[in-house]
Amino acid sequence: MSDSPKPTFSRPALGWFVVLDGGIAALSVLALHDGAYRAAREIGPLPEQKQLRTLLVGTIGLHVLEASLARRMASRRGLASEVVGRWRRQTFAVGFPSLLKLRKVPALASVS
């Protein structure tokens, strides 16, 4: 009986995309759109808009760093370049849940 090949790419649950990307989208709107920020501020307290912009820039920077780490991790596992690219793009979009999935992907071959 032959072993079935291990998957080389998988996605985190849809909920991660909804929660994390939805939060980043909301942060982006509040940080960059004055009208939306003022309207939300009438509903409840918010940090200053400048602080939200700083948080947004930090979030983008963190996702770039995570995507770079995903590229490195996937390459070290000997995955094909198109699969490495998929991991990099997915990790940029959703962040750490993608890295957690990637950690479970075994190396395909001994890579030096």
CB atoms under 10 Å from CB of 101, counted, come to 21
- Count of domains for the chain: 1
Q: What is the pLDDT of residues 50-107, one digit of tens each?
A: 999 999 999 999 999 999 999 999 999 999 999 999 999 999 999 999 999 999 999 9
pTM to 2 decimal places:
0.86
Instruction: List, in sequence order, the alpha helices (H) in 1-112.
Output: 14-16, 22-32, 34-43, 49-76, 81-94, 96-103
Q: Which two tokens stand for residue 108?
A: 């395909």
Give me the domain span that covers residue 88: 14-103
Torsion of CA 64, 99, 26, 22, to 10 degrees: 140
Q: Residue 4 domain-assigned?
A: no
- CB-side neighbour CA atoms (13 Å) of 83: 17
Does some domain include residue 47?
yes
Q: Is residue 112 part of a domain?
A: no
